[in-house]
A and B are shown apart, each in its own frame.
Chain A
Amino acid sequence: GEDVEQSLFLSVREGDSSVINCTYTDSSSTYLYWYKQEPGAGLQLLTYIFSNMDMKQDQRLTVLLNKKDKHLSLRIADTQTGDSAIYFCAESMSGGSYIPTFGRGTSLIVHP
């Protein structure tokens, strides 16, 4: 199976909250990331969380980590049409060059 798994699509109404889920297999993962890719653009690091944290909040973004279940989620409050993009979950380990292992990406579609 894949090292990092996430659902492929999510559709939400503008103004609602979006929750994008991700599971990973490597229990030694130290850093977990969320990247955003807008159409025609490169990946942009949205946020990351250390494995010794349960939650991280940054404005409209909330990251929750359940280390026991190896489950990571990204919640976007008050989702806007500009949030439509592909969101990639990724993990990396400490040491080495911190090269992330990515999931397939979740396409978030925000409709009026």
Chain B
Amino acid sequence: EAGVTQFPSHSVIEKGQTVTLRCDPISGHDNLYWYRRVMGKEIKFLLHFVKESKQDESGMPNNRFLAERTGGTYSTLKVQPAELEDSGVYFCASSQKTGLGEQFFGPGTRLTVL
């Protein structure tokens, strides 16, 4: 069974540009999460989808970030326009259950904004 995959693995863009990150969860997992780790800091929750609906988006830093999960399968996280402080590693995770269930994490996308 394939795990959670993320694309791209690395992205280097200039300040003001747009970047779209993609996450493909494990097949059949209704729950999809986005997290971010800024260099050397803790991993912070961004948002949680249940199928195509946003269950909790309390961690989204500002309106430059837009997450979608059309059709309830893969998800995209768009940053527009990107700022220097957006640099970090963006992790996606998925799980079968909403409650305490193991969240399976993807390898992350390392975003560098110059």
Contacts and interface: CB of A to CB of B under 8 A. Distances in A.
The answer to whether A and B assemble together is yes
Contacts of B93: 42-43
B45 A101 contact: yes
Contacts of A90: 43
B45 A104 contact: no
Q: Summarize A's interface: helix, strand, loop or mixed.
A: loop
Contacts of A101: 42, 45
B33 interface: yes
A99 B42 contact: no
Contacts, number: 53
Interface of A: 2, 4, 8, 31, 35, 40-45, 88, 90, 96-105
Contact of A99 (B3, B4, B33, B102): B33
B61 interface: no
B56 A4 contact: no
Contact of A97 (B41, B56, B107): B56
B81 to A, nearest CB: 28
B75 to A, nearest CB: 15
Nearest to A88: B43
7 contacts: A42-B104, A42-B106, A97-B31, A99-B33, A100-B103, A102-B43, A104-B40
Given A97-B99, A98-B99, A99-B56, A43 B91 contact: yes
A33 B33 CA distance: 17
Given A97-B31, A99-B45, A45 B103 contact: yes
B74 interface: no
Contacts of B35: 102
